Structure 1
Amino acid sequence: MLPDQAIRILVANDPRLAPYTSIREKDLTSGHGGRFIVEGKVTVETLLRRGRFAVESLFLCETRLEPLADILTRVPSDVPVYVAPQDVMDAVAGFPMHRGVLACGVKGKTATDAALVLSQIARQSPLPSTLLMLSDLSNHDNVGACFRNAAAFGADAVLLDGQCCDPLYRKAIRVSSGSTLWLPFAHGGSGAEMMQAARDAGYTVWAMTPRADGAPLASLPVPDKLAILLGAEGPGLPDDLIASAVPVRIPMSAGFDSINVATAGAVALAHVFASRA
């Protein structure tokens, strides 16, 4: 049974589907025009249930209507639900859409000012408080995984400098299990500006690094207001950011000094979460 606002689409060049056309190419060029695309049942459900962004439309394969019946009851009455056969959906997206579930969200005025997000956190969240800060992470999988870890271990917000990729990129949303849609974040500025905003708000910053002079993670008391800073795969954090924070390392077996950045974030966040339990 079709929802009341369902609109059947029979041709791939229907102009109402413009946000969904050639998704991969638009992802690479930020060509969605202030929109973002959400893919898959879990993330679309998150967008509808607890997302903080407006929903512009849904685009579904006709075979997905019955399995999504409960979710579709949450679609606002003024949001169109476009429904098409699988071959039409594949032609629009530009690749096989096996999940058959897409939604288009509107970014609106996403926060670029870390200090503004931190002031909102201060008003809404009692102590203790944890931030995850990301510097120069250009890999969408890593950014998405970092958000998922932050959500799992109770971080209040994620701050990203301007060199990081967009957390509302389709793949980042999917890898984050939809947490980029509801977890507060700010994206912009330099790593130094991001760190200064955290310090001005009273946070101690732990700079995660494999350097031998870093304090072992378990050796440090966990402050009430803590920001965990992660750098890019390979080069890690620059020296000036490490020097302006507390260098912290995760002890590892001899001859091996690094793990994936999202994994390092998960280890640090889990340690903090357990210490406060």
Structure 2
Amino acid sequence: MPPIPIDNEGDPRLAAYTSIREKDLTSGHGARFIIEGKVTLETAVRRGRFALESIFIADSRIEPLAELLARVPADVPVYTAPQSVMDKVTGFPMHRGVLACGLKGEIPDPAAFLESGVSAASTLLLLSDLSNHDNIGACFRNAAAFGASAVLMDAQCCDPLYRKAIRVSSGSTLWLPYAQGGTGLDMVNAAKAAGYEVWAMTPRTDAASLTSLPVPARLAILLGAEGPGLPDEVIAACRAVRIPMSEGFDSVNVATAGAITLSHVFTAAV
């Protein structure tokens, strides 16, 4: 389908893109989400697992993106407008000039995901109570980089399909399988029932050192929120594991902790 020019910021076909900084499109059944930037759009088109509803780009980007736009399914409209109109629609300067609207669809909870047999993963990344979009995005990027087959999150985690989370993940939230729902303990119990050993990452001094443990055939790595960390009852249901650090220092950013642990497991498997 050739690009559809639009010259009015009030055009109803652009409703999903209106004031996107101020609203959350990801909530509720069949919710939409916004993709921002060339890299993430390319990921969505070439390997994304979510359907695209539409694409909205500045008219100056049509020619540079011609090859990518040729891969867009014929039933996905591509709207284009002058930069000034695009900025008015979105509510802030859209320097990248590239947006798309995706359809979230049904996201399973961790237990249903594991029971369905969708994942034959040897390594899972489990996230509990992570409310920071940067951390969620970085955790997904680390999971993709170090070979985790899926990410499971409890209901307290923020949505990995927020614009910023997608961008920070380098688009990996668009293709890496994930599930979300329930409590952290529910998620741990579901992973254990599916045959995974669960490592709860914690700075506790009585936890086993990461480098001292053999890597099991099926492993789930659990990360908790920065500050409070994982609740005692959740850690008690897992094997407590710590990352060795310099004396007097016992913690790093949650995404960094995930990267170190995932890299250790990935290297052990190579």
Matched, 1:160 2:153: yes
Q: Once the two structures are aligned, what percentage of the paired residues are identical?
A: 71
Residue 241 of structure 1 is matched in structure 2 by 234
Aligned partner letter, 1:94? G
User: Under a length normalisation based on structure 1, what TM-score does the superposition of the two structures give?
Assistant: 0.94
Aligned partner letter, 1:65? I
> Where in structure 2 are the equivalents of 1:223-234 lying within 5 Å?
223-234=216-227
Tell me, yes or no, if the aligned pair for 1:5 and 1:78 is still in contact at 8 Å.
Answer: no
Tell me, yes or no, if the aligned pair for 2:128 and 2:154 is still in contact at 8 Å.
Answer: yes
Matched, 1:115 2:111: yes
Residue 99 of structure 1 is matched in structure 2 by 96
Tell me, yes or no, if the aligned pair for 2:119 and 2:149 is still in contact at 8 Å.
Answer: no
Aligned partner letter, 1:85? P
Q: CA deviation at 1:124?
A: 5.7
Equivalent residue in structure 2 for 1:217, among 187, 206, 210 = 210
- For the residue of structure 1 that corresponds to 2:101, the secondary structure is strand
Whole-angstrom CA distance in 2 between matches of 1:123 and 1:19: 31
Equivalent residue in structure 1 for 2:163, among 167, 170, 173 = 170
Aligned partner letter, 2:13? R
Whole-angstrom CA distance in 1 between matches of 2:191 and 2:152: 9
Q: CA deviation at 1:31?
A: 8.7
Q: CA deviation at 1:5?
A: 3.0
- The alignment's C-alpha RMSD in Å is 1.6
Residue 188 of structure 1 is matched in structure 2 by 181
Residue 43 of structure 1 is matched in structure 2 by 40
Residue 64 of structure 1 is matched in structure 2 by 61
Residue 74 of structure 2 is matched in structure 1 by 77
Deviations 1:185-229 (A, max 9, x none): 111101111001000000000000011111111000000000000
Equivalent residue in structure 2 for 1:132, among 125, 145, 148 = 125
Aligned length: 270
Whole-angstrom CA distance in 2 between matches of 1:265 and 1:124: 20
